[in-house]
Amino acid sequence: MIAVIDYGMGNLRSVQKAFELFCPDVRISSSFKEVVSSDKIILPGVGAFKKAMDELEKRGLADAVKKVIEDGKPLLGICLGLQLLFSESEEGGSVNGLDVLKGLVRKFKNVEGLKIPHMGWNRITTSDPVPQGYGAGKQQGARILDGVPDKSYMYFVHSYYVEPEDRSIVLCETGYGDTFTSGVHKDNIYAFQFHPEKSQTQGLKIVKNFVDI
């Protein structure tokens, strides 16, 4: 069973429908017990970082996410769900995240001609051989990107991006003004800034790969 964590933010049904193409048992859940007993977990989300953290804490789901990770179960973060895994966000001042991945969440710089939020289709770079600065994260996490060609287009909607302390967890990057991290992998954690469930053929390959892990 795959649990899609419900903390009151995001279009959970679209995530559920995408994963149901490859898994017969996908449940939207706000139950600590159900989340921690699931085989795989998805942490989605669209909206404000602070509100999301407040809701996760209030519902006991922050602890559920941490326990799932400690238990070694595969977890997929999507969009805000990626950002929440990191230590701290600039959004709303300075807000603590789940801190299961070290690093900051930063806002895109105001650059002439650069629209914020970053919204629409953009490419992810996943080329081999592994570029300088990448490490085991890209190599070991490549399974989630199996069959996804380098420079595939994915669908983004965000004003903030993650800046990992450890470059070895970076799976893919995207250019928007500067280059930012658009996907990470560490141990049983996989997370993307884009929306695989909205990214048509290539995004659905990621969905299927996560189901198959």
| Residue 8 region by backbone torsions, left for phi larger than 0, else alpha for psi between -120 and 50, else beta | left
Q: How far is it, in rounded angstroms, from Cα 17 to Cα 100?
A: 28
| Known active-site residue 79 | yes
Q: How far is it, in rounded angstroms, from Cα 195 to Cα 174?
A: 13
Strand 170-176 versus strand 178-186 pairing type:
antiparallel
Pair 82, 160: CB distance under 8 Å:
no
Q: Which of 118, 158, 185, 195 is catalytic?
A: 195
Angle at 142 between CA 141 and CA 144, to 5 degrees: 80
Q: Which of 23, 55, 79, 91 is catalytic?
A: 79
pTM here is 0.93
Q: Which is nearest to 172 in space by CA: 149, 200, 188? A: 149
Pair 109, 118: CB distance under 8 Å:
no
Rounded (10°) CA dihedral 123, 26, 73, 94:
60
Q: Which of 55, 91, 173, 197 is catalytic?
A: 197
| Helix (H), strand (E) at residue 160 | strand 160-164
pLDDT per residue as tens, the chain (213 positions): 999 999 988 789 999 999 999 999 999 999 999 999 999 999 998 889 999 999 999 999 999 999 999 999 999 999 999 999 999 999 878 899 999 999 999 999 887 778 999 999 999 998 654 444 444 445 555 789 999 999 999 999 999 999 999 999 999 999 998 999 999 999 999 999 999 999 999 999 999 999 999
Identify the structural domains of the chain with CATH numbers, from first to last. 2-212 (3.40.50.880)
